[in-house]
Structure 1
């Protein structure tokens, strides 16, 4: 039980670490606004309240350096000092880049491009309505608070703020919808069955996501981030290219209130600086501008490496179907007819960014088995190695290989071999911890990244799976297939990810040479 609790704490710490750089950049952005004198009167008070909460969260998860910097930021809210604040802004940005594993950014000269964080209202805790049995709700409240959510059992408990979502089972969701109608927030349905009928029932009830009990916090947060990207650690990034200053200010205000980080460019020929600084996930682009039309700018960007596939939403007063079709043909993902309503703008932008993030995740999966592909697995290993080095945590990597799969393919056909790979991938996906990353290295090999895990722990976990896999023969086309696998495990010693992979591969060779169907720990006797 204690081991499960420790693993859960480690998983939450990694989840918090993933979201922390975005929070540091957000705070730095608000301090920049205060430093330049552009801040609203209530910004300092709201920032102070949020910093107090963030400091506690950082201390809970052991990010002491972050907590100390945020404490200095809180002092600046009450006793501002221009020189100290400027140094603090840079320190926060540098730490965010360090946590992301990126090199520090050099200071940029002022170009006149408006770069802004989300509005001050997004500093507040995100109100979340959970209508689940009391014990289940209470178990989620404290962990969710550490990630910036204010949980309540009623929509009115959140000081009048509209809930970003409601988490409920089918019975509660039906009662809530009957009471609120169209004003009901997005729904995350919780159920006991993982089946198509259960998921279909959730869809018909209007659910945007479905989670099978027991509710795991990372899965719930991922669902909330999919429904509304603004709840993620890194706010949605939108570049607004509009020659009208009044209209661009309106779009900017609406999107900041929706939780987006924005940049505004009123002269389209100056767009490159904003692109490199903001790295937008979407461009909101006016079709009719002097010097360079929106369609021309879209064509230019789609000729440039790095920007060829960036989503674009066109803004236009044009209702000619042929011209609108031409805009859509240049990778336009949507168009909005002016004057654009605020809700329409927020919905179009946030849904497209959420879809883009989901598509990015889809591109990381192995087509045959559904686990991570090689590039995504390598990225996961790189990130976990960097995180283990920064946090001083343990980490293991396992290289798993199906024994004698070539012989099975020769006897039963490659389709049978593929079925074995799919079965093994599914078994590891179900049995591995939620914090682990399972991916396909290629051919008949898989890799398993085990953060917060020592060598002996990794052996126990994988050996249990190995024994069950061996004891339960597969039935394929009425034929019984007896299959087993071997595994090499390496423990992280502070080196590079490549070294960890090489050590695991060497341990796998020892396991194979010893007859297979066994697990070998690198550097063990």
Structure 2
């Protein structure tokens, strides 16, 4: 079987096999060290820590890889040495350690035999299952298929127009029967459903509920209805609908709600840096986290942690508490002294069960203490909770609060990184500076709430129509910036022209008025302009020309 296709069970079996195969050589070395200790007590300062480290390692690895008898013997030996921390290991303790080493030889033979039997019977089967729902989102924004079921033609035409402005493919049904059959043939990405039809006051939502029972699938759905009574609303909730609008609806409100339902969320895998001097234990914990879609980088020397932090940019640090030369607590303290890592979640992994020592270790600003052998589900859940919290805090720092787009500083940083990547790979990239035309007049005439609605709508339009790989940011006020990857200036001009025309046909509503807005665009190309600032200045100059030539147009840097 190819290693790239090994199951979690196969990978853990490999780790167990490797541990058992390597154990005799390790046992020989430590037995020789024990013999020298017995013959030359003067060697204790050098050799006793080596014995301690061996037993601690076997205890942790044995527990994690399910070798309980070896782990129990190692625990007894470690306890003997720890109790003599401030004194020489006397003859009685050395004799007990020798006896434990002899028993380890016997247990290793038994464990090796049991492992061979397990392999012959299809291998080691872990008594846990891990959820594997994380995955990469689609790299491009494809048009979403929307089914609109409504028998009132006056509502349909205007709503379909606005949905198509946002790039949706819309299919209209005037009867629930035709809608029902179409869903069975090709499920849509989302549904807009009326409630009342000739065959019943809640026929629309009953149709959705019947589809859900038949297919066991929740269709993202929004209700539009001329009735706001409790029965209609309750039927919508029971059918799993996520929105309810009273006719006459404002198309923009429905459109934005629907876009919220259908826009795919880009979920980057959580990134975990694991610092553990025991390669087998590190591999085991990495396997558990990778099985649910996380990306794990393991280092085995604390001194390597800083370089890994800089290169890997983890969402969480998982650190073994007991390591030679530098303990987990010491490493956590060093990391916390660096301002850029003050908020990085750090979790300890250790076989330490003394609650006082655990609490003392938390003083370095560590979030949690996981005791080996960890329960796989507990490890995954704890890592997810702490890492996702950091993701949320980072998101609040890098995104514009009104639109959800990247803010000015983050946009600039991301564009710089993207251009550096494009330079290394000889890729074309294009910048578009976008500015809403006569925006001050919108605020003065219709009020700031209406102006905010225009800004949010343009942000949603850009998010829904551009690729997830493109960079879209709010540069300030009514100005936006877009970096289109692997795109020429001509391609960018055509795309922006299409977006401009669609945006100009969107109706915005205030309490007593309906109005439309336009925007202008300036485009510049990389590598003609080799870095962020020259590229931005060129796009800004092109935008200025678009404004001077009458607005509502796209101009390309010559």
Length-normalised TM-score, structure 1: 0.50
Aligned pairs for 1:110-259 within 5 A:
164-165=132-133, 192-193=219-220, 223=267, 226=269, 229=270, 236-240=272-276, 248-249=278-279, 251-258=281-288, 259=290
Aligned residues of 2:403 and 2:459 also touching (Cα < 8 A) = yes
Give the equivalent residue in structure 1 for 2:306: 275
* Alpha-carbon distance in structure 1 between the residues aligned to 2:335 and 2:130: 38
Give the equivalent residue in structure 2 for 1:432: 466
1:520 aligns with 2:555: yes
Aligned pairs for 1:312-351 within 5 A:
312-315=346-349, 317-318=352-353, 320=355, 331-349=365-383
**Cα displacement (A) at 1:462:** 1.7
Q: 2:532 aligns with which of 497, 508, 517?
A: 497
**Cα displacement (A) at 1:292:** 7.5
- Pair 361,459 (structure 1): closer, same or farther in 2 beyond 3 Å: same
**Cα displacement (A) at 1:466:** 1.7
1:470 aligns with 2:504: yes
**Cα displacement (A) at 1:517:** 1.8
Give the equivalent residue in structure 1 for 2:543: 508
**Cα displacement (A) at 1:324:** 6.2
* Alpha-carbon distance in structure 1 between the residues aligned to 2:460 and 2:395: 18
**Cα displacement (A) at 1:519:** 1.5
* Alpha-carbon distance in structure 2 between the residues aligned to 1:369 and 1:449: 17
Give the equivalent residue in structure 1 for 2:444: 410
* Alpha-carbon distance in structure 2 between the residues aligned to 1:475 and 1:236: 47
**Cα displacement (A) at 1:311:** 1.2
Aligned pairs for 1:100-111 within 5 A:
none
Higher RCO, Cα 8 Å, sep 6+? 2
Give the equivalent residue in structure 2 for 1:118: none
* Alpha-carbon distance in structure 1 between the residues aligned to 2:275 and 2:386: 14
Aligned residues of 1:396 and 1:490 also touching (Cα < 8 A) = yes
Aligned-partner SS, 1:306: helix
**Cα displacement (A) at 1:384:** 3.4
Give the equivalent residue in structure 2 for 1:306: 340
- Pair 297,515 (structure 1): closer, same or farther in 2 beyond 3 Å: same
RMSD: 4.5
**Cα displacement (A) at 1:512:** 1.2
**Cα displacement (A) at 1:411:** 3.8
**Cα displacement (A) at 1:442:** 0.9
Aligned-partner SS, 2:524: strand
Aligned pairs for 1:22-101 within 5 A:
46=3
* Alpha-carbon distance in structure 2 between the residues aligned to 1:464 and 1:429: 15
**Cα displacement (A) at 1:389:** 3.1
Aligned residues of 1:382 and 1:497 also touching (Cα < 8 A) = yes
Aligned residues of 1:511 and 1:518 also touching (Cα < 8 A) = yes
- Pair 463,291 (structure 1): closer, same or farther in 2 beyond 3 Å: closer
* Alpha-carbon distance in structure 2 between the residues aligned to 1:199 and 1:388: 50
**Residues 295-354 of structure 1, C-alpha deviation per residue, up to 9 Å, x if partnerless?**
56534432223332221113464575x886776675433322344335533543466446
**Cα displacement (A) at 1:439:** 1.0
Aligned-partner SS, 1:408: helix
How many residue pairs get aligned? The number is: 320
* Alpha-carbon distance in structure 1 between the residues aligned to 2:527 and 2:554: 20
**Cα displacement (A) at 1:508:** 0.6
* Alpha-carbon distance in structure 1 between the residues aligned to 2:363 and 2:217: 40
Q: For structure 1, which segment, 472-481 or 351-360, has the greater mean C-alpha deviation from structure 2 after superposition? A: 351-360
* Alpha-carbon distance in structure 2 between the residues aligned to 1:199 and 1:457: 46
* Alpha-carbon distance in structure 2 between the residues aligned to 1:202 and 1:332: 42
Give the equivalent residue in structure 1 for 2:411: 377
* Alpha-carbon distance in structure 1 between the residues aligned to 2:412 and 2:453: 24
**Cα displacement (A) at 1:365:** 1.9
**Cα displacement (A) at 1:356:** 4.2
* Alpha-carbon distance in structure 1 between the residues aligned to 2:467 and 2:338: 41
Structure 1 unmatched ranges of 5 or more: 1-41, 50-159, 172-188, 204-211, 230-234, 266-270
